[in-house]
Structures are given as C-alpha cells and as structure tokens.
Structure 1
Amino acid sequence: MAWKVGELSRLTGLTVRTLHHYERIGLLTPSGRTGGGHRLYDEDDVTRLYRIVALRELGLPLDAVGTALAGELDLADLLRSHLEHVGHQLTALRALHARLSTLVSAGRAPYGPDDLLALMDEVNTVEDTMRNYFSEEQIQALAERRAQLGPEAIAAAEREWPELIAKVQAELDAGTDPAEPRVQELAARWWELLEGFHGGDPGLRDGLYRMRDANSEQIQREYGGPSDALIAYVTRAREAAAD
C-alpha cells in the first residue's frame, strides 16, 4: 500500500506542513514518487512515522528523535512506553473531569450549565494539549512562574506580543536586513518575552518550541501567532547579533 502526502495527513491528523518538515530535516523521507512527482509513503514509512509521533509525545525533541530512530527502536517496547504515557494522561484528565463535574453540579449564578460545560471542554482541551508537551513537574513549574510574575506582568506581556509581532512583520515585509540594529532590538525583546515564559529552563523552552511547531497553523490562525517566516527572520537577527 502507498499513500500520498495529503492522504497521510488526513489519516494521521498531522499537517502536510509537518510531514514536509520531517522530510526537510531527514526524519521521514517518502519511499517513492508518482509519475507526476508526488510523494508516496509506504508501510515502512508509516511505521517510522508512528515512531516519530510516539517519541515526540514522550517528550523527545526532534534532534533526539533522529538519534533514537538511528538506534532501531523496538516497536513493541515503544508501544508499551506510549501506552504507559497515555495512561498517565488519562489519569490526569479523569481527575480534572471529576473536579469540573463537581463544580458543575454545585454551580451558582451567574454561571449556567452551558457556560460550565463549555468551560469544561476548553479546560480539557488545554490540559490535554499541555500534557503532550510538558511533564507534570513542568506544568507545576509554569504555574509557579505565573504566580511569581503576577497577573499584571502577564497581562502586559500578552498585550505586547501582538504589537511586537506587527513591528517585526513590517520590517520583514520591507525587506530590512536582519542585521539592522532596529531589527536586532526587536529580536532581543522577542527573546526576552520568551524568557519570561520558560525562565531559561531548557526543558520548558523545548516544550514550548515543540508545541508551537506542532500547532503553528492553529496558533497563527486563532491567536495571531507568528508565521514560520517571521520566526526564521527573528532567528537570523539573533544570529547576526551574536556574530
């Protein structure tokens, strides 16, 4: 059997962009091509893709995934590890569901059942997403960091992000060299805001990057997050400043 990239995207839930990215970095190269040059993935490619997805969910960054795959991981062992990881996720989600169910049953005005059910759905989605990229200890560390920063600092950063993204986008659209001092100042502030999130913790930083990479289109569409081109531009500015 063989699948085109669009078919594989639809069946796995991964975006075509993600599959192309895996190919660019050498993680997953389609085994064939159609007469028209379209990518074709065979059964071995699907097995390898599962390994990539499972290792990512278990918390490995992409470079570590490549190293692990080079060691020919046993699929049965990986399935067991994946099962254990999903079990931990289910336990956490059941606990969250129980807490929210209690809240709904004891709800008081001005919150009606519809509001609370919508809140439950949203919180479940957020919690599930977070646990795909951060361990329980890291989620606790993020909560503690938010408490340390305080609501005013967090709100100020949330207001600044759209303004900063717009400024950097304007420089990119104008074709400004990323080595220009004003672009490097914007890039420096960009990294300062990111630092405010992860506090220099490499695990939190990697989780943030993995979450953004896997959900880039949704983040850009629903929250106005930066495009891949914009992130690459800011990265070049940072690299130019370091030279």
Structure 2
Amino acid sequence: MEQSRTWRVGELARATGLTVRTLHHWDHLGLVTPSGRTAAGHRRYEARDVERLYEVLALRRLEVPLATVGKLLGGTVSVDDVLRQHLRLVDEQLVALRRLRAGLGAMVGARPRSTADFLSLIREVVVVDEIVEKYFTAEQLAGLAERREREAGQVAAVEAAWPDLIARVQAAIDAGTDPAGEHGRALATEWAALLERFHRGDDGLRRSLYAMQAENADTIRREHGGPSAEQIAFIAAASAGPDAPATGGAS
C-alpha cells in the first residue's frame, strides 16, 4: 500500500462497498477518523486510516457491535473476552435457528388441513420450546438439533415408536399385568432402549429429560401424547430401579 496515497470519502466508499453515510457515521463515532482534511474541509483518508477501516470491517463481518469494536480497537477490552462473548451469542443464535428450522420442518411435514390445524401445530411447537428451554442447556439443544438434521430418519423412527409402546404399556396395565413379570420387564427394557437412543448415555441429557418430564408430565401428555404417571410408575416398577424413565416422544 502506497503511504503517500490518500482517498476522498466517496472513493473509499466505492472501494469498500460502504456508503458515504456509513463512513461519516464511523468518523463521528471515532472508529475510522480521516487523518487529513482539504482546505475546503473535505475528508482525506491515508493508508493507516484504510488499514483501520478494514480492521473495523473484519470485526463487523463477525457481527461484533460497533460499540464493542471501538472498545476493542481502543484497547479497553480484551480480544479474548470479546471473542468468547461473541461466540456464546453466535452459539445461542445457531440454537435458535436450528430449533426454528425443526419447527418449520414439523409444520411442513404435518401438512395441516385447516387454519385451526395450523394454529394447533404452532401452539405445540411453541409449548415445546417454552418447556425445553428451562431444562436443556444451549449446548445440549445445539447437539440435539444437529442430530435431528444429521439423523432425521433415525429420529423419526424413535418418535414413531413411542406412541405404540405407550399404548402397549397401557394395555398391560388395563390387563392387570404384573410389572415384575416377564412381559412387564420386556416393556421396561424396550422403554429404556428408546430413552437410550435419546440421551445416548449422557448423564446431563438424561437428568434434563427426567426433570422436564417430572415437572411437566400433564402438559407433555396433553399436548404431545407423553406417558401418564400411571404408565411411568408401571415402567419404574418393572425396571426395579431408583429412577423412573422419563417420557415418550423424545428424540
């Protein structure tokens, strides 16, 4: 870069794809201030100003807020702190986008026949979001969303298996089946296997799932066909373990 070269604001705007108004605003904020002025007061940008401009552009490309850009380039905040904070924000946005995509996919796949069906489907998606946000971390939600995209067929198979299993557990209860008997234990084994396909041995996911079911059993059953307290008690007795299985319909 030639050190003697200078740029008028219009030239710099065209070269960078920015607007003159943006460059004026950044000058006003003290982010990129031209080193010189003409006799008529027009801005003249030198090579060091252009270098500074591209530093700002690089940070803005990462969507770092302008106020933070100024602090960062002014040395009043740590680069590592800013990047870590921004990475957390981006991760949260990714989780939100993946969950939005999953919700849209559910709506498209369900093909509601009427406005009432569509509104009911929207309500289901919103209720799920409000519940799971209380029990699963951003990292857990991101991992689950990635798995749903990566293993759509397997996830769908697990989701489809829950209603049938829950119905068979209820049939066993209605028939007076002893949970400790062979049939009861077989149902409990099948139940545990489906849960395993959700949490995959991750204790954190398992605890979050169990807590969500324990505190929202009625809503999950009403809105999404989850198991009843009676069904969970049957499986717990059949499992003869300290922890009751969590819920059907997990993926």
Give the TM-score range, shorter chain.
0.3 to 0.5
TM value normalised by structure 2: 0.46
Query: Which structure has greater helix proportion?
Result: 1
Q: What is the TM-score normalised by the length of structure 1?
A: 0.47
Which protein has the larger Cα radius of gyration, Structure 1 or Structure 2? 2
